[in-house]
Structure 1
Amino acid sequence: MEIVTQRLITALNNMGLPNLDAKVYAALVYLNSVGAKELIDFVEISKPSVYDSLQKLEERGLVVKNSYKPSIYTAVSPNLAIEIINREYDQAKEVALEELQHLIQSQKIKEENDAIWTVFGERNIRPKIREMIHSAEDYIICLMGERYIPLFEDLEIFAPLTLYIVSNDPDISSRVEEKLGKSNTSVTSIPISEIVKGMPHSTKKEQSPELMDISNLFEIIIDDKETLSIPPIRTNKLTGLHSSIDLMLYVAIDRMEMISGLAIHTPGKKKRK
């Protein structure tokens, strides 16, 4: 069965066709119309497994069996097969999203001492940030390095957005506002030197460029619900602290004000104590 490549089987797997079903369907496309015995000899899979796969493929509309004895099996055209698989995927996606949203609405409220999470690595941090931004309803306030600007692009943002971007580029505010194209967006640039002055340091060593990387700085507050913070340190792997505890929200506001030297106003319902 070397003519049926693993590349093809993997692609069909990724589209939602189980491994055995993918092999049987691909074999039928190559063999055209064949009986079960010839198919079994070709795929070198046990007889019960092949018959089981044929039945599943037939039920999904990917294989047609004639009424003659012995039965002859024919694969539907690849274009029709992909259309059927995509339709099933779209339907499954809608059901899964609906059920998962139901779980979110019904989820138990965690105790506050369980609501602090560490998010490791850029691969995990970036989708988490985008999820937070997209889910915001009342407001988004964010202090960040330039590297995070793409996280706000090509994303539906429903809440008013206030961005403080750490950059020495005097035109970055207008460019970002134009790029995002939202009337309820405010973008302010803060020179790097101002941020460095506002950073708390216990020793002069901590001010060393070898330890600090202002471009990694990220502080965001979403509604009155959650915050995520990434420290401005030089590292090979970003680490963020995510929390929904009231105290952590107040701490995040204080930290943003201390670093930026600006008065951060949160338009949400909760007021800082």
Structure 2
Amino acid sequence: MTPNESEALEAFERLGLTSYEAKVFIGLHQIGSGTARDVARVVDVPRSQVYSVAESLEERGLLEVQQSSPIRYRPVSVEEARTTLEERFEREQERAFDYVSTVKQEPNGEETQEDIWTVRGRSRVDDRIADILSAADRRLLFGARLPELVTPQIEQTLEKRAAAGVEVVVVSSSDAVRDRLGALDGVTVDTPPAHRESDQRSGRIAIVDDDSLLLSVVDNDGSETAIWSSNSLFASVLIQLIEASDETLEKSN
């Protein structure tokens, strides 16, 4: 069995076919049509099993049966099979998620969400930051230590929120970040407090409307991990602590 054939069999199994079903379907396409004996000669499926497998494939709409003696089988075209499996996948997906929607627990008024979440991986942090910034109604602060942490998606989100009348402030020790984002209409740039200049592990910060917060750190290998919280008491308190700490240390200096 070639590696490509092995991968194809695994793919068919992920689409819902059994190993034998996938082998018989592929085998029939190899020979065009044939009896159970013919199929067993080209695929690793016992002849005694071909009959029940073929019956299952017929029920799935993936092959046709010629009522002759002996019985012959013919696979449907590749395009017809592709459409059949796609439609089945869509039906099963709809059925599965419709059920989840009916049983998921709705907020009971006491607590709408967990206080704090963790996100790992650069692309996932990118998406979470963009989501948090997009929800800003009054004010947002975005900070990034490194230019590569400012994605086009984040840049576009900052520009859109500024155009919507949101107060947008960008903080960075990087000239490149300040120059790039400072060129956006309605965006104010600033440098971080002096006591944070030596920080070499921080990644990004996003503060939105005093009730949503994301903080990330960048590891030595460049990977990024963030904690975030939105519309929670945890976020409000942490934001107050960060702002109070910066103000106190700046005054002491």
Please give the range of the TM-score, normalised by the shorter of the 2 chains: 0.5 to 0.7
Question: Could you list the per-position Cα deviations for residues 81-136 of structure 1 after superposition, in whole angstroms to 9, with x for gaps in the alignment?
Answer: 111111222223333333333344547889799643333333654555567678x6
Q: Could you tell me how far apart the structure 1 residues matched to 2:57 and 2:152 are?
A: 43
> What is the SS of the residue equivalent to 1:236?
coil
Which consecutive unaligned segments of at least 5 residues does structure 2 have?
A: 248-253
> What is the SS of the residue equivalent to 2:38?
helix
Q: Could you tell me how far apart the structure 2 residues matched to 1:54 and 1:95 are?
A: 26
How many residue pairs were aligned? 234
> What is the SS of the residue equivalent to 1:242?
strand
Q: CA RMSD in A?
A: 4.3
- Deviation (angstroms), 1:66: 1.4
Match of 1:217 in 2: 204
Contact 1:119 1:239 in 2 (8 A): yes
Match of 1:76 in 2: 76
Q: Could you tell me which amino acid in structure 1 is paired with residue 192 of structure 2?
A: I
- Deviation (angstroms), 1:29: 0.8
Match of 1:197 in 2: 194
* Change in CA separation of 1:109 and 1:212 when aligned onto 2, cut-off 3 Å: same
* Change in CA separation of 1:126 and 1:198 when aligned onto 2, cut-off 3 Å: same
- Deviation (angstroms), 1:11: 4.0
Match of 2:117 in 1: 117
Given the two structures, how large is their TM-score scaled by the length of structure 1? 0.63
Match of 2:100 in 1: 100
* Change in CA separation of 1:232 and 1:34 when aligned onto 2, cut-off 3 Å: closer
Which consecutive unaligned segments of at least 5 residues does structure 1 have?
A: 178-186, 200-206, 262-273
Contact 1:137 1:223 in 2 (8 A): no
Given the two structures, how large is their TM-score scaled by the length of structure 2? 0.67
Matched, 1:27 2:24: no
> What is the SS of the residue equivalent to 2:215?
strand
> What is the SS of the residue equivalent to 2:206?
strand
Match of 1:143 in 2: 142
Q: Could you tell me how far apart the structure 2 residues matched to 1:168 and 1:75 are?
A: 62
Matched, 1:253 2:250: no
* Change in CA separation of 1:237 and 1:46 when aligned onto 2, cut-off 3 Å: same
Q: Could you tell me how far apart the structure 1 residues matched to 2:154 and 2:98 are?
A: 25
Q: Could you tell me how far apart the structure 1 residues matched to 2:128 and 2:76 are?
A: 41
Q: Could you tell me how far apart the structure 2 residues matched to 1:14 and 1:222 are?
A: 44
Q: Could you tell me how far apart the structure 2 residues matched to 1:130 and 1:50 are?
A: 53
Question: Could you list the per-position Cα deviations for residues 144-187 of structure 1 after superposition, in whole angstroms to 9, with x for gaps in the alignment?
Answer: 435253455999xxx9777544422255553xx8xxxxxxxxx6
Q: Which stretch of the first structure deviates more once superposed, 56-65 or 8-17?
A: 8-17
Q: Could you tell me which amino acid in structure 1 is paired with residue 198 of structure 2?
A: S
